[in-house]
Amino acid sequence: MNYFTRMIIVAGALVPSLMIAEKSPVVSSPKPNVIVIMVDDMGYGGVSCFDNRNFKTPEIDRLCAEGMKLTDFHSNGAVCSPTRAALMTGRYQQRSGCDEVVNADPRVPMHHIGIHADEWTFAEAMQSSGYATAIFGKWHLGYKPEFHPMRHGFDEFNGFISGNIDAHSHMDRMRVQDWWQGEALKDEPGYHTDLINKHAVDFIERHQSEPFFLYVAHGTPHSPHQARASKIQRGPDKGKIPDWAPEETYSKDRKSEDWLIRHFILPVDEGVGQIRAKLEELGIADNTIVWFVSDNGGTGGNFTTSPLTKGNKSQFYEGGHRVPGIVWAPGRVTPGSVSDELMLTFDIMPTSLDMSGIEAPEGLELDGVNLAGAIFKNESLPHKIRFWNMGSKGALRDGHWKIVVSGSESLLFDLEADPRETKNIATQYPERVTEMRRVYDAMLEETIADSPYTKPEKPKSKASKPAKKKN
Ligand SMILES: [Ca+2]
């Protein structure tokens, strides 16, 4: 049991007896349904079954209590687009050239990059195997028509391309209307989370008798932070409360520090409950696997960071990429089980492909691994080394050892002895640091070589500054 499991149990979020529940048999069923629910900018402190000390998230907690809690689950990126590229390709985001945030501003070079037509995506793989496929919510993998989700294996799309939109007016931060229905830019009135939930449940209902792959990509709790009854922040109706806004029910105390975030996150929690209830109502829960993950760590402004982890979004300390991870699969996953195995976003695709009997095209090697043994049988995974990078910053994990890289500097942490990364012990282990840095540099060089893009050179005066983290 590692520090994170221990601390979570101490915090009372899990009943320890659940952890020793008997193993469930693995049900062998062809083409199980796959649902990936991805929240945006939610750190370890975002849900109460992990470390939310401010309020409860009952439906997500129920998913966790009935499924497996992944205590060492990490987003591939410390910001939005890179993690989403890794999810969609099963590979390090450097290979698809989507290793930085796709920017909403057309004057910025990173506005024009996106997921290349040559990529073999998660959705394409599932679609080609007879799955109905849909994404509802945030795409954030490029603005050009060739980057659109409908060109990358999705049959259906209701949502947005940008890194964030106004929850009501659906305008991005450049004040551009950004709500799509399929390939058409066409608004739908409603609070973004409610629209995503509605479409997800409707899609499940319509495809109950065939295998489906559903990507539920919430824009919450990314800024702008808006509850259902919050004012519109962007567009001609700025300052108004939308007609459709219902009365808030979770708390009347608007003075409470977490009021806004509570009312922002709990509609997502409701949606998780609606999805689970619909699967059970239709009798397809035992042939469905639901993943609940975040795309990067929390921000100070959304109160989802956790004192169990250091740092936050855009950083390569644990707070930037160690995120809540849950897998729920009745009959397959032991209820209340916990896995301390190191897992990353890009492992979800190879795990799903294996379960559905889909093989990658010849010559294509995925970086992610099949997690089936860990999540269905609670087995240990083979040892693996993992890296994170954006610009001049990054990290490398080798077992419980981790280096955090900034330019030419490498800090060393022992996550077993020091999970909060408080003591840089690089000077005590110079040979280990040198070797881990060598591996980091080699992995970065090898993956970037696959990128279809030549990155624009950054002005030298800014080379040592932190990478832009907007969005
Ligand atoms: Ca994000």
Q: Give the distance (Å) from ligand 1 centre to CA of residue 400.
A: 25
Supply the pLDDT for residue 23: 40
CB proximity list for 182: less than 8 A, separation 6 or greater: 150, 156, 157, 158
CA 41 to ligand 1 centroid distance, Å: 4
Angstrom CA distances, 49 to 61, 63, 66, stand at 5, 9, 12
**Residue 19 pLDDT level (bands cut at 50, 70, 90):** very low
Q: How far is the CA of 408 from the centre of ligand 1 (A)?
A: 27
For residue 313, which of 239, 222, 385 has the smallest C-alpha distance? 222
CA of 138 from ligand 1 middle (Å) equals 10
Alpha-carbon gap, residue 399 to 402, rounded angstroms: 8
DSSP 145-213: GGGSGGGTT-SEEEEESSS---TTT-B-TTS-B--EETTEE----S-HHHHHHHHHHHHHHHTTTS-EE
CA of 315 to the centre of ligand 1 (A): 12
Averaged over 210-238, what is the pLDDT? 97
- Residue 426 CA, ligand 1 centroid: distance in Å: 30
How confident is the model over 180-189, as pLDDT tens digits?
999 999 999 9
Distance (angstroms) between ligand 1 centre and the Cα of 296 equals 5
Cα separation, 153 vs 365, in Å, equals: 19
Tens of pLDDT along 386-424? 999 999 999 999 999 999 999 999 999 999 999 999 999
Residue 334 burial class via C-beta count within 10 angstroms: exposed 0-12, middle 13-18, buried 19 and up: buried
Q: Say how far apart CA 154 and CA 203 lie, in whole Å.
A: 13
Ligand 1 center to residue 79 CA distance, Å? Answer: 5
pLDDT in tens, 136-168: 999 999 999 999 999 999 999 999 999 999 999
Alpha-helical runs (H) found in 38-174: 58-66, 80-89, 93-96, 122-128
What is the Å distance from ligand 1's center to 345 Cα? 13
Q: Are 420 and 309 in contact (CB under 8 A)?
A: yes
Distance 195 CA to ligand 1 centre (A): 19
Burial class (CB in 10 A: 0-12, 13-18, 19+), 442: exposed
Q: How far is the CA of 314 from the centre of ligand 1 (A)?
A: 9
The helix (run of H) or strand (run of E) holding residue 349 is helix 348-356
Measured in Å, residue 300 CA sits from the centre of ligand 1 at 13
CA 222 / ligand 1 centre spacing (Å) = 6
Sign of the CA dihedral with 401 first, then 99, 317, and 303 last: negative
Domains observed in the chain: 3-15+31-384 (3.40.720.10), 387-462 (3.30.1120.10)
Q: Which of 188, 221, 186 is nearest to 202 (CA)?
A: 188
Q: How far is the CA of 38 from the centre of ligand 1 (A)?
A: 9
Tokens of 165: 């939109």
Q: How far is the CA of 25 from the centre of ligand 1 (A)?
A: 35
Q: How far apart are CA 400 and CA 388, in angstroms?
A: 15
471 versus 310: the higher-pLDDT residue is: 310
The lowest-confidence range among 5-14, 31-40, 70-79 is 5-14
Phi, psi of 248 (to 5 degrees): -75, 140
In the structure, how many helices (H) and strands (E) does the chain have?
A: 11, 16
Distance 226 CA to ligand 1 centre (A): 16
